[in-house]
Amino acid sequence: MIAPSILSADFARLADELAAVPTSDWIHVDVMDNHFVPNLTLGLPVVKSLLEVTDIPIDCHLMIEDPDRWAIGYAEAGAYNVTVHVEAANDPIALAKNLRAAGSKAGLSIKPGTPLEPYVEVLKHYDTLLVMSVEPGFGGQSFMADVLDKVRQARHLVDTGHLKLLVEIDGGINADTIEQAAQAGVDCFVAGSAVYDAADPGKAVEALRAQAAGAR
């Protein structure tokens, strides 16, 4: 699965930018609040507008404080998958249940320096694990290959039946890094500049998908 990140798109032409990647599996939307991360992007009103102009499932990645309070609104608005950070959630198990009750899939994200092991039981309540391969907050960062150990751990837990979730990766994914991520066991690849800096974003999505499939 390929999920283009609109963080790298032209914010003045978001409807057109979504239309340029029609075969994407998800559209990844980074919500940043300038508190949990040192950057400010967009929020629920923009997500609602995006939902009106595309049929591609919206994958909201909430890099925000107090997701227990704010995340439910994105699910209620119609986002397909709503991901919160385990470092910010007060009660991640209750939050997962509330997100599902509100109509979305529940995703849990971990920063590069956050270990997977303490959250395995928590992840039994989630549909998606988003492994950050850069520090959250800014696009265009370099891929951190050491996080692939966590991907391999998660893949093993899924393959052996201990977890039932999709493994997603976000940060520095491009033609040079997607194959090693695929080999480690990633299911869904978030790609920003690798898609939207390309001359043809739609073809870039298909090229990344072919690379990942070949590596798996």
**pLDDT tens track for 87-132:** 999 999 999 999 999 999 999 999 999 999 999 999 999 999 999 9
pLDDT at 140 > cutoff 80: no
* pLDDT tens-digit series, residues 98-109: 999 999 999 999
Least confident of 8-12, 102-106, 140-144, 195-199: 140-144
In this predicted model, what pLDDT tens digit does every residue of 180-194 receive, in sequence order? 999 999 999 999 999
Is-contact 79 60, C-beta < 8 A? yes
161 is in an annotated binding site: no
**Which tens digits make up the pLDDT trace of 41-81?**
999 999 999 999 999 999 999 999 999 999 999 999 999 99
Q: Is 107 annotated as a binding residue?
A: no
Alpha-carbon gap, residue 26 to 189, rounded angstroms:
10
Residue ranges of domains in the chain, CATH in brackets: 2-215 (3.20.20.70)
30 assigned to active site: yes
Q: Any known ligand binding at 138?
A: yes
Other Cβ atoms less than 10 A from the Cβ of 55: the count is: 7
What per-residue confidence (pLDDT) applies to 142? 87
78 is in an annotated binding site: no
Q: Catalytic residue among 25, 59, 127, 170, which? A: 170
**172, pLDDT greater than 80:** yes
Q: Out of 25, 30, 59, 187, which one is annotated catalytic?
A: 30
Is 90 exceeded by the pLDDT of residue 206? yes
Among this protein's residues, is 16 annotated catalytic?
no
